[in-house]
Chains A and B, each alone.
Chain A
Amino acid sequence: MYRYDKYDQAMVDTRVEEFREQVRRRIEGKMDDDQFKPLRLKNGLYLQLHAYMLRVAVPYGTLNSAQMRTLADIARRYDRGYGHFTTRQNIQYNWIKLAEAPDILADLAEVEMHAIQTSGESIRNVSSDHYAGATADEVIDPRPWAEMLRQMTTFMPEFSYLPRKFKIAVIASAEDRVALRWHDFALRIVRNAAGEIGFEVFLGGGMGRTPFIAYRSREFLPANQIFSYLQAVLRVWNRHARRDNIHKQRMKILVHDLGQEEFTRQVEEAFQHFLSLGEDFPQAEYDRIAAYFEPPAFEQGLSDEIDLSDPAFAAWVKQQVVAHKAPGYAIANISLKPVGGIPGDISAEQMELVADLAERFSLDELRSTHAQNLVLPHVRKADLHTVWQALVSAGLADANLDLVTDVIACPGLDYCSLANARSIPVAQKIVERFADAGRQADIGELKIKVSGCINACGHHHAGNIGILGVDRKGSESYQLLLGGSGDEDTTQAKIAGPGFDEDGIVDAVERAVEHYRVIREGGERFIDTYRRVGMEGFKEAIYG
């Protein structure tokens, strides 16, 4: 993975000391919160329901074991013994003290991590495929490009006061594992007929109050023109953005207002201007970065045999393990969705165990996923059983990837100051309701996503079944949505009808699922059935 050079390290270290000084002045009363807030947000520090919350960036979801151990250490020393992985592959801590925040950032800097770009009106931490570098279905490893974009944008003055946040994702395979088209600037690496690398570009996606799926602006953009293109997009947005109205500042709104055609036209015009400045990165710089992502030295001559005689292990392999590009290796998914747990939560001890597993069995690499799970990307098939046993002992061996109990949920009213309703208890009740493994297997792939308010941190717009918490005359209520997807077949979920209370929404989900089981045809997934029959049939089953 990418390693900081001395400039990267110096910038991050300087930033920590700058923040230490700002915190000191705030605590001494030399700044009020209005003055201090933008400074803390630039360093990922929010003020939430119970304490300060720190969001730490995990660039393109890649971590090594030393970084994971530091995350565990922070959970134990400065928080309450756990961390929470988010839908943008980052990790959040919920119980941070202001006075200790600079020390945490200093600890992070020692393992080349920080909280820059996790908040505020910035280009947010770039997300990518959690199987990058391990999967056979990618054109190339997308992470060097994610890293290029990160380096080019982090401290660029023009990007430090954008109209609103701006989210970039990069993948390199046909299968979408990052919810690509729900990002502002979404790139899929492809090869053209001549074999050259370039980007299929999608613009203007985003969830929240006004959801839009990104539209395709370019079928093929030569790779070495990406920075000019990004600057062009940001220039057009910066020029027209509604800075007067917080609900209309995201780029997706501008794309909608101008129309895709006109937006593209203006981008292309600005693009020609930036191209003429010749400011794209030099090839040598790309090569330097790409060298860090060279495939690790996979062992040769390994066996592809896995002893599946233990049924519990076999069940885990079937659900959690996917094909690796190198013979004798596998990609192992770690579920952070145990029955009774909080989606995405992981204790300090579990983090340490996972770090050990990564070090011993996965060439020192770990990934976080947008579905709030973890991945060991390079496990020898011969080691899978040992890895699984360790996961069992840590309560991390649930075999439910992409099943009905692999629920995504935002923190909701239990932690978030913007929430209207709790999301975690709803997720927990759904998981309990469908805890039976046989039933889960029978239902098959089904993605349920829960948000506690319209901001959509739980991706409810992209849920096959989405749940949105709303405030109904001062009490919690939940709307049911159907038909969303964050995969390569991206669609936006639609509201089924009137809302429910906490138990009512769980029953409604069950009725939708049971209806699917009755009417599905062949090997249809829930989403396939929904697309075939549409909302009406489901509505009747849900509302009677």
Chain B
Amino acid sequence: MRIITGNDLKSGAVTWWTGYDWSLHVEDAVDAGDQAEAIMARETATCRVNNPYIIEGEKTADGVRPAHIKDRIRALGPTVRPDLTLKPADPEAREWVI
């Protein structure tokens, strides 16, 4: 699936296109399919999100996950500080991302 990500303008937080808005949770990401380019162009113009780009993702048992490790780290948080991840309570946080 093709998912769209970027960084929120005000906070810089990693954000995901949900089909109608942006979410901080990668689970909310939707397959933008062949609409991805058009959505990006429209969203770039509104200036809410920095540098939106399209990546490859997949639906897993845990939810939507980016294909590449870099975007998985972006999605979850640093692998070296589980307390700073999006799921600090999850003991698997570190393994989950890799």
Tell me if B10 is interfacial: C-beta within 8 Å of chain A.
yes
Whether the Cβ atoms of B80 and A50 lie closer than 8 Å is no
Question: Would you call A32 and B47 a contact (CB within 8 A)?
Answer: yes
Complex contact A50–B70 (CB within 8 A): no
CA distance A33 to B9 in the complex (A): 9
Known contacts A80-B84, A342-B80, A474-B68; is A414 also within 8 Å of B11 by CB? no
Beta-carbon contact of A97 and B12 below 8 Å: yes
Indicate if the CB atoms of A419 and B11 lie closer than 8 Å: no
Docked pose: A425 CA to B7 CA in angstroms:
25
Interface residues on B, range: 20 to 34
- List residues of chain B with CB within 8 A of the CB of A97: 10-12
B57 interface hit (Cβ, 8 Å):
no
Choice from A27, A49, A50, A413 contacting B9 with Cβ under 8 Å: A27
Interface membership of A52, Cβ < 8 A = yes
Which residue on A lies nearest to B85, using beta carbons?
A50
Tell me whether B79 is interfacial, beta carbon within 8 Å.
yes
- The A contact surface, by secondary structure, is mixed
Q: A544 interface residue, CB < 8 Å from B?
A: no
A321 within 8 Å of B (CB atoms): no
Q: Contacting A47 at CB < 8 Å: which of B46, B50, B73, B84?
A: B50
Is residue B65 within 8 Å, beta carbon to beta carbon, of the partner chain? no
A449 adjacent to chain B (CB < 8 Å)? no
A66–chain B nearest beta-carbon distance, Å: 28
Which of A29, A50, A425 contacts B77 (CB under 8 A)? Answer: A50
Does B81 count as interface, using CB distance less than 8 angstroms? yes
Whether, in the assembled complex, A424 has its beta carbon less than 8 Å from a beta carbon of chain B, the answer is: yes
* Whole-angstrom distance between the Cβ of A73 and the nearest chain B Cβ: 19
Q: Which of B9, B10, B12, B50 has the most CB of A within 10 A?
A: B12
A96-B79 in contact given A32-B47, A47-B7, A80-B84 (Cβ < 8 Å)? no
Contact A33-B50, Cβ < 8 Å, known A50-B74, A413-B73: yes
Beyond A96-B12, A342-B80, 10 extra complex contacts between A and B, CB < 8 Å: A29-B46, A33-B51, A49-B14, A51-B7, A51-B11, A95-B84, A414-B79, A419-B70, A474-B69, A475-B69
Q: List 22 A-B contacts (CB under 8 A).
A: A26-B9, A29-B47, A33-B50, A47-B12, A49-B70, A51-B7, A51-B11, A96-B12, A97-B10, A97-B12, A98-B9, A99-B11, A413-B73, A414-B81, A419-B70, A422-B73, A424-B80, A425-B79, A425-B80, A428-B80, A474-B68, A475-B69
